[in-house]
């Protein structure tokens, strides 16, 4: 029997000039390039982004950078999982071409003073409860896009507000990179895959799929144009009964502007952020 092909080596790129040199050589050879930005602790959700990228482009670079500026002072930056060698092994298995692994000094050299902020889209949902978060995300993603200048960059719908913020920033700043969203990858019981799921205790893991069940229930209730408020109140109560708290938001919003909706008349999304014990979970579904 022929042995399965051994996983290809993943090129490790540590700084901007190594990244640009590699992308330049690929382009000279007529190859297209996709970038998948991540914070590592990779799971099947990240790998789905890589596979989508491979369908669109000849070469795929995955960046792994736990970005300090998108974490608040009381958030989990210091305990965020860092498992680089496991990540590289997964990338080799899926056949990614390169991992871009900048350190903090590469991304934020001494004297760094520029921030990208996106108005409007960041005013609701995660914006008010995570002050500075989206500025941190928009700034680091803008840098990654300009550093790599890929043809395409892919982001998960799991972080739907983040996806819209990135689309807006790239459009507004004329960043010459196409942005593509990829549907959320879930466990069989509906829980969206997340690097933070590993924080959940056995009991919390058992309760966690309620978040997806509630989203689906709200989506079904408001689909025909019924008022959103009663469905949201019922959903919030169901989350609290399952042990979630605080529920930071449960909202039906316009899929484009993310403005809250009293009734659904066009493309819309149901979005939630809630704590389960010490772990903050977010999720969303289309209506
Ligand atoms: P993170 O490492 O959490 O910053 O995520 C990196 C990228 O993977 C982001 O674009 C996320 O939206 C995406 N992502 C995370 N979890 C999932 C998932 N379960 N399904 C699809 N994409 C995901």
Q: Are residues 136 and 75 in the same domain?
A: yes
Q: Is residue 128 part of a domain?
A: yes
One domain for residues 171 and 42: yes
* 46 C-beta closer than 6 A to ligand 1: yes
Marked catalytic residue, from 46, 52, 133, 212: 46
Give the count of beta carbons closer than 10 Å to the beta carbon of residue 122.
Answer: 25
Q: Where are the alpha helices (DSSP H) in 2-96?
A: 16-28, 44-56, 84-94
Assess whether the C-beta atom of 212 lies below 6 angstroms from ligand 1: no
Q: Which atom of ligand 1 is nearest to the CA of 46?
A: 8
Domain boundary among 131, 158, 182: 182
Tell me, in angstroms, the distance from the centre of ligand 1 to residue 28's CA. Answer: 30
Q: Diameter of the chain by CA atoms?
A: 61
Domain containing 223 — which CATH number?
3.30.1300.10
189 part of a folded domain? no
Are 158 and 223 in the same domain?
no
Range of the domain at 129: 7-182
| pLDDT one digit per residue (tens) for the chain, 287 residues | 565 556 779 999 999 999 999 999 999 999 999 999 999 999 999 999 999 999 999 999 999 999 999 999 989 899 999 999 999 999 999 999 999 999 999 999 999 999 999 999 999 999 999 999 999 999 999 999 999 999 999 999 999 999 999 999 999 999 999 999 999 999 999 999 999 999 999 999 999 999 999 999 999 999 999 999 999 999 999 999 999 999 999 999 999 999 999 999 999 999 999 999 999 999 999 99
Instruction: Specify whether 94 is located in the same domain as 51.
Output: yes
- Cβ–Cβ < 8 Å for 158, 283: yes
Same domain, 142 and 263: no
Domain count, the chain: 2
128 and 238 both lie in a single domain: no
The CA distance from 38 to 67, in Å, is 9
Shared domain for 93 and 225, answered yes or no, is: no
Sign of CA dihedral 36, 139, 161, 121: negative
Nearest one of 67, 79, 78 to 108, comparing CA atoms: 67
Measured distance CA(133)–CA(162) in Å, rounded: 10
> What separation in Å is there between the alpha carbon of 267 and the centre of ligand 1?
22
Q: What is the pLDDT of residue 5?
A: 57
Give yes or no: residues 83 and 20 share one domain.
yes
Domain co-membership, 81 together with 177: yes
Supply the pTM of this predicted model.
Answer: 0.96
Half-sphere exposure of 94 (CA within 13 A, CB side): 26
CB 191 less than 6 A from any atom of ligand 1: no
Nearest CA to ligand 1 atom 13: 156
Active site residue 46: yes
Final residue belonging to a domain, choices 123, 152, 182: 182
Q: How far is the CA of 87 from the centre of ligand 1 (A)?
A: 14
């Amino acid at each position: 029997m022929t042995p399965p092909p051994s996983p290809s080596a993943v090129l490790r790129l540590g700084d901007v000039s190594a990244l640009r040199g590699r992308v330049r050589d690929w382009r000279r050879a007529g190859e297209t390039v996709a970038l998948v930005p991540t914070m590592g602790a990779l799971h099947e959700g990240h790998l789905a982004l890589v596979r989508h990228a491979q369908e669109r482009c000849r070469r795929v670079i995955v960046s792994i950078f736990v970005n300090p500026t998108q974490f608040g002072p009381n958030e989990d930056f210091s305990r965020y999982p860092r498992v680089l060698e496991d990540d590289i092994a997964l990338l080799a298995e899926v056949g990614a071409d390169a991992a871009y692994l900048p350190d903090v000094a590469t991304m934020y050299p001494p004297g760094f003073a520029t921030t990208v902020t996106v108005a409007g889209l960041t005013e609701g949902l995660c914006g008010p409860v995570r002050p500075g978060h989206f500025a941190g995300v928009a700034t680091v993603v803008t840098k990654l896009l300009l550093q790599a200048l890929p043809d395409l960059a892919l982001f998960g719908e799991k972080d739907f507000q983040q996806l819209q913020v990135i689309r807006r920033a790239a459009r507004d700043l004329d960043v010459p990179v196409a942005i593509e969203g990829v549907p959320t990858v879930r466990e069989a019981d509906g829980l969206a895959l997340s690097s933070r799921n590993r924080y959940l205790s056995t009991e919390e893991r058992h309760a966690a799929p309620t978040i997806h069940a509630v989203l689906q229930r709200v989506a079904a209730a408001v689909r025909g144009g019924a008022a959103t408020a009663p469905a949201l109140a019922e959903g919030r109560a169901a989350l609290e009964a399952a042990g979630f708290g605080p529920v930071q938001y449960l909202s039906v919003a316009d899929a484009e502007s993310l403005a809250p909706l009293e009734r659904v008349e066009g493309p819309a999304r149901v979005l939630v952020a809630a704590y389960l014990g010490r772990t903050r979970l977010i999720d969303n579904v289309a209506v």
